[in-house]
Structure 1
Amino acid sequence: MIGRAAKNFYGTLSARQNFHTIVSKEVNKALVNQQPVLALESTIITHGLPNPENLHMAQSVEDICRSNGVTPATIAVMRGSPCIGISSEELSELSNGSKSYVKISRRDLAPTIQQKLTGGTTVSGTMVLADQHNIPVFATGGIGGVHRGGEDTLDVSADLTELGRTPVAVVCAGVKSILDIAKTLEYLETQGVTVATFGETRDFPAFFTAKSGLLSHTNVRTAKEAAEMIYVNKQLNLGSGIVIAVPIPEQFSADGLEIENAIQTALKEANDADVAGNLITPFILQRVSELTYGRSLKTNLALVRNNVHVGSQIALELSHIQRLDQSRKVELKSKGETKDNKVLVVGAVNVDILCTKHEETTVGKDLAQGNIQHVMGGVGRNVAECLAKQDIKSTLISVVGDDNLGRLALECCKESGMDTTRIVAQPGASTPVAQLTIKDGDVLEGICNFSAHSHLVPNLIPEADIASSRFVVLDCDTPVQTGIYVAESCSKLSVPLILEPTAPLKFKQFVAAGILQFTSIVTPNVTELAVITDDKNDFAIPSLLKPIPKDISQILPQMLQCLSKMSRKTQFRSVLTTLGEKGVLYCQLSEDNILQIVHLPKAPEKPHIKSSSGAGDSFLGGFIANICKGNGIEQCLKGGTFCAFKSLKSHETISGMISDDGLAAKTIKSWNELGWNLYVFYEGEFKFEK
């Protein structure tokens, strides 16, 4: 799958006739796989530092990025080609001190490319190219600003206007005190640029010192807080950038104070010598280096490396947030070609006889008066019907007997809208029947004959059917060996598998056979969940988990233990546990170890329960249907709850009311107005202890 950034890049190449943007293989791979990337400027290499310090600095900051799990993207223009990420040879070339290299801001990009020149990009030029390739975070030493006397000379850095129109976050040490910091902050405010100090206070740093005597608009205490602010800024489409101002580390503060004193001395000398205009900055920089005996260079390098370290952490956190946003959509597409929303269901078809006694009786007495209903059942059949009623193509693979009940079952399945061409009428077998005794809507006891399920063998399930499906639902009424065949085929064909336990003992058999390593989503209730967890249950709950009710917190370790049995052979791992009166709890772990734990309470409206026998299957069908429609996790869980609610109010296992999308939307909206909210308990990185 090509990420959005990569799509934009590839989409622009064909339109360019005069030049070619080069994205390095390392950066391109990160963009395609939506991994964190940090932009780095190159003017500091070509114009900011002497050789060999410039090369050592460039190499070290790229190493800092990689050590933090972030891909560095040093941006430059090489012989007329904008480069997003450059090779070690190109770093060496840029550091050789050639006088032919140009300094490239926004205004210089077009002529530099047109004349096929080589040069380093400034903050402004780097921001432009980073934004064009969807790299949202950029680290540098310091930004330009309003020069002293700028109110008369209009000497204002292009960095400031770029921040006002390009949504890239610039991590820096503020601006040097040789500039007019107060006017720089005023100018940034006019441009609508958010300025935030990285740390516990709002003190705006002055590059070599932690405090300039002025305040930022706000502060962010951690890389995660900074990433959250950047994410919100992008979501709002404000179009402006953000300055993340990082104070000098404490271990360099003494050197920083000495350098600041040297700057003030140099400023006074410049004033006494009537040095003005564009001569001020080079004069001051030269004098500061002389006055500090070169220590200003050492501290400057330390500041740049610290900024890159902080920028890498922010880029990493932002990448996590972006992946979490995508995970809310419960993206279940396979890694191959895009498939239609066809769901393959492998499982049981039953005829259920529901018996409700109106009076008690004893042995030898007359039959008890009551109510008897024949309804279609079977977990697989129920899920397939629920999907079909919501306009999701579903094919059911199952077995019935070649008898009158079997013919009736086939006819009912056809009428429900599902594809029944894979249901086999097995000669000599009896169509599965379950007689269930119902009281107050709950099943008290039952008698069944499910012997026909043994005829659901692997050769009835063509791999082509699995390969062409969006994903596969498997119920544990299927023979274990058939279930393992389906699971292994799903893994081989990169088709996500959803496993519905159906009953504790059957589920335990499947788990013992190793099916969870091939499973993407498993949907146990609390009883089914308990049969696969052991007494040790020492799975760590994330320390950042928000306070949750005690009874739910007792279930979470079991869910994590279940999750641990699901291997990385799947694109994601999810456990969806129904909690009865307490709603549902959902845990999802992505393949890059981002864990999400959410809880949806029960619907705020209490149903008059007629039968609960199909509620769980209805929930699963509603959940899957909403996934197929591209809805986020909250809507998926609420859609499943709506289907279960309607099932509880009906004697039919799958209520005919769920086919009305308008009713579903209206009902869920009314429940939302009653305060029916999804609670996110945890979103972040999580790894199981080995």
Structure 2
Amino acid sequence: MLCLLSGFLNRMRILKKTFTLVLRRGVNTLCSKDFLFKVHPSVSQALADNKPVVALESTIITHGMPYPHNLSTAKEVEAIVQAEGATPATVGVIEGEIRVGLSSDELDYLAQFKSPLKVSRRDLPYVISKGLSGGTTVSATMIAAHRAGIPVFVTGGIGGVHRDGQNSLDISADLTELGRTPIAVVSAGVKSILDIGRTLEFLETQGVCVATYGASKSFPAFFSPHSGFTSACHVCNPSEAAKLIVSTLSLGLQSGVLIAVPIPEEHAAVGQQIEEAIQAAVTEASSQGITGRDVTPFILQKVNELTHGKSLQANIALIHNNAKVGCQIAWELSKKMSERTSKSQAHHFERLSTDSESDIVVIGGTNVDFIAKGKTKTLRFGQTNPGSVCQSFGGVGRNIADSLSRLGRRPLFISATGADANSDAVLNYCKHMNTSGVARLEEWSTATYCSVITENGELSLGLGDMDIHQQITDQYVSKFERQLSSATLVCLDGNLPVSTINYVCSLAKKHNINVWYEPTDAKKACKPFLSDAWKSLSYSSPNLAELCIMNETLGITTPEVEDVVTLVAVLPNALDDILNVAVALSRPLLEHLHCLVVTLGPNGVLLCGEHDAGSVSLKPRKQKRRRQLCALHYPALTVTAEETMNVSGAGDSLAGALMAGILQGKDTDSCVRMGLLAARMSLASPHPISPKLTLDSVDPNKVQTQAWPKPDFVWID
């Protein structure tokens, strides 16, 4: 393999110098969401596993306390969260990137940064555009936490209506954010330097549920457990608080919950002394003309001086207490949401129809797609481009099940959607399919994907909200073990959790099931190859980049993915080089896989597998055996730029039609030609799978097309 690739690598080193800058710019454009918004892997994993996560703000680091108290407090709070069994997710902005979950080095960076910005909702666009760093306030932290899917956020105290706010209109953005972002904020109320009465009135106007944590409704004033005002309600323990949060989220009100936790009694004893210092500090701030966002840092510093550090100690104590209470609430919330999900899945499973018997099962993602197509060859970012926008229904698993359903099969489709309007729309569209295996889950949103494509149908930018795919768990899929065990073919897409893929592969090994793996993209291609699960796969349909990742995951030396992408994009006529690389990358996988269908875009398809009567065998194998291997290349059908509507479902159409042909017992040539015709129909349709797709429309004997070129052989053994 290394000898075969050496010539290719030498040529690519020359090309790489020329195209590296272009490729890097392309990567930044395509991954703009990740570029602006980054979730730490530990946070992502905890969320995917339904483990409790607690969001933490960072203005307490950058503006709330002097160094090194700010750093030690931040790390102590994270340690408390971890000790309570939750995952801390401190939010901050570093060099224009919003980060949810900071490393130790990033905490140090913010704690010692000389001129950090105080970043609220208003400031986020500017800070990002300038590549600046700063601490996120309550409002900005709420935005980031909500986008990451974190329902509980712990802070010291929220902002409020400033004294004389009825004249100055100096009202913290924290309050309006609570009115429009569905997240639970755990705090010690608001500081007495603010107008607490008007703050509570404003929260009521915003529709925010305010609850005191404990036996009393008395609303706390940060350093004091009593402000002289009461909350609308109270919750006595973490379980009651979690129930309140679940109710808020279930109603879909799009407003938050404020859980006000009184400072511990042992630290509240100095409250009166601190209150007197606050009044003195307020007077001094007024006399010095200090206003706006500078007031709070000034007063906190002054109060710390007047109380000889007692206010700082009390501040740290209440933050520690809030973190502990917040974790306990997050744990209860995690359990209650898991219970609701399990009940929803169980209820759904009870309703499964009896028509779920099928010779093929497809497990994968369901998306609602929004496709924006430009009317120009190039799109200019940062301005409005002429174009059209349409809605369609996608998801790799859904697409393949759709294709099979239109081609005379009745696949059982296993997936997950939210219990929302998008779910209603996609399930109504999929009435021709067997969707009895699709779970509708409360508290989750149906996956959505937005793609911006150029005039000729090429993807320019894609954004996806795919978190619900992680709910297609092995526990849920195991409910269909009987159907899986008796199926002729099971298809998995790369959106599935690794544990689900491993479970199906273990069944395949036990029951000798043929499994087809569709990687979906290069990042997800590695999933079965992280363990020996891949050895139970029979088919896979990767592109060259995905094939590289598969080999790389197995520790096999491969060309860089960037080089392979460049080869296909920049040298579309270098077919011999492309085929040689594809063959070399396929060979190690064929030690266990029955057949690889390597998609080459405009260069067609390369089949790699067992040589059988002058072709590659696509028939489902009954047992593994020694065999002679070969590779067979089929050119693509010609599709003009004018005919191309989008490229999002061509590969799925190809795979679905190939599977349909295999299950119908057709020969290899017929299967591949069915796949190529289905892919061409997809390219010319605004939908990933053309609604016009039928068995007649992909019958090579009935469709008028150019003369079918004879496939070329590349022998492996």
Please classify the TM superposition score into its range, dividing by the shorter chain length: 0.3 to 0.5
TM-score, normalised with respect to structure 2: 0.45
Q: Find the structure with the greater CA-based Rg.
A: 1
TM-score, normalised with respect to structure 1: 0.47
